[in-house]
Amino acid sequence: MKTLVIATNNEDKGREIARILTGMDYEVRTLRDYPPYPEPEENAGSFAGNAQIKALAAANHTGSLAIADDSGLVVDALDGAPGVHSSRFAANDEERNKKVLELLLNVPDDKRTARFVAVAAIAEPGKIIGTTEGKVEGIIAREPRGDNGFGYDPIFYIPEFGRTTAEMSAEEKDHISHRGKALRAAKELLEKL
C-alpha cells in the first residue's frame, strides 16, 4: 500500500483532513511519524503557493506522497485580511477572534461578508502533482458562538444554516466546508494516481 503523509502541524486541521480522506487505498501518516521535521517558511503570499511549499517540503522530507492544506479566513471589510496570515493574526484562537470582532465593531451586517478558503496541494518528492481549492461563504458574527471546530469557527456564521461553523457537527462542517470541498477534489486526484 502507498503511503500518504498529511503535512500539517495543526492537530485540528490534521483531524479534519484525516476524516475527509478516509476510505482510500493509502496508508495515512502524519509528520509526527518522521521527526525531526524542519518546517518550511510559508512565504509565498498566496494560499496555493503556501500549500505547495508545505506539500513539497513534506514529500521531500519523507520520500512519500504528501498532501498539505493552506487555508484561512478572508474578510471583505478588512480587504481580505487575515487571509494567508490567519494562523498568525494574534497570539491564540480566542485573541484572533476577538481582534476580528473588534476591527468589525462598527461594520454593519450587510458589510460583514467573509469566506473560508482552502487550497490542498499534493506532491511527490521534487514535484507538485496537483492543487485543488474550496470556499465557503458566510458573515462575521457579532460574538463567538459554539464549541466545535477550531480557529475562527465560533465567529463564522452561515445565514443559510442559522449557525456558526462551531455550532455544526464535524460531519455537517465537512460537508459544506472549504476544506471538505478542496480535499474531496484532492481525493479524486489521488484515486486516479
Judged by CB under 6 A, which of 5, 13, 74, 183 binds ligand ITT? 13
The nearer residue to ligand ITT, 25 or 39, going by C-beta atoms, is 39
Q: Assess 167 for contact with ligand ITT (CB under 6 A).
A: no
Q: Assess 26 for contact with ligand ITT (CB under 6 A).
A: no
CA atoms within 13 A on the CB side of 106: 0
Q: Assess 148 for contact with ligand ITT (CB under 6 A).
A: no
Judged by CB under 6 A, which of 52, 100, 116, 164 binds ligand ITT? 116
Q: Assess 138 for contact with ligand ITT (CB under 6 A).
A: no
Minimum distance from CB of 101 to ligand ITT (Å)? 14
Judged by CB under 6 A, which of 138, 152, 158, 183 binds ligand ITT? 152
SS3 21: coil
Whole-number Å distance between alpha carbons of 174 and 180: 5
Minimum distance from CB of 103 to ligand ITT (Å)? 15
Whole-number Å distance between alpha carbons of 146 and 85: 23
Minimum distance from CB of 59 to ligand ITT (Å)? 15
Judged by CB under 6 A, which of 62, 86, 97, 131 binds ligand ITT? 86
How far is CA 82 from each of CA 19, 29, 119, 152, rounded to the nearest angstrom?
26, 30, 16, 11
Whole-number Å distance between alpha carbons of 157 and 164: 4
Q: Assess 8 for contact with ligand ITT (CB under 6 A).
A: yes
Provide DSSP, 83-112. GGGGGGSSSSHHHHHHHHHHHTTT--GGG-
Whole-number Å distance between alpha carbons of 111 and 100: 14
Minimum distance from CB of 116 to ligand ITT (Å)? 6
Q: Is 70 a catalytic residue?
A: yes
Short-list 31, 28, 27, 29, CA closest to 9: 31
The nearer residue to ligand ITT, 131 or 177, going by C-beta atoms, is 177
SS3 1: coil
Q: Which residues bind ligand ITT (CB under 6 A)?
A: 8-10, 13, 42, 54, 70-73, 86-87, 116, 149-153, 177, 179
